[in-house]
Amino acid sequence: MTAIPRAAIVFSQTFDPKSILPYQHEVSRVGDPDASTDPESLPILAADETIDTFELVPSEEALEKGLYLLDTAEYFTTISDRTIQFWPAIQDDRKNDPLFTPGTVRLSLDLTFTTTATPPNVWHYTLVLKVGGQ
């Protein structure tokens, strides 16, 4: 079992393997009321900085447990300004897996993005979904 980093961002909503719902992650910007001033915290964009490119992929362990991101005409990963939206899914043959009931399993996704700063900043951190059946 791969350890999830202590500083990972954990979504509060539990993801039901049978659902199709979007998840969003907004990167903080300097001046946001909830932006951390701790230099060791997760990424904070400068006032004029935006996300240029990004990659969001399930961890190896999450892939082994059936997690993937939908990539169809209707459901696909997008970015708007500093908000990344994605549609997680569990492989059909794993949706009823006892692993997901009762309780939850934490599955991680690796997020890497490059900003428009000069020179560009490159950030990498972990997002965590709590997956559990209802």
> What ranges do the domains of the chain cover?
9-131
Q: Which two structure tokens, joined as six digits, stand for 105?
A: 């399993």
Q: What is the pLDDT of residues 54-74, one digit of tens each?
A: 999 999 999 999 999 999 999
- Pick from 20, 38, 9, 1: nearest CA to 86: 20
DSSP 63: H
Q: What is the pLDDT of residues 13-34, one digit of tens each?
A: 899 999 999 999 988 766 666 6
* Confidence label for 6 from pLDDT (cuts 50, 70 and 90): confident
Helices (H), ranges, the chain = 60-64
Q: What is the pTM of this model?
A: 0.85
Contact 16, 132 (CB under 8 A): yes
Three-state secondary structure call for residue 85: strand
The helix or strand, by DSSP H or E, that contains position 37, with its residue range, turns out to be none
Alpha-carbon torsion, ordered 131, 56, 43, 6, to 10 deg: 40
Give the residue carrying structure tokens 């965590």: 128
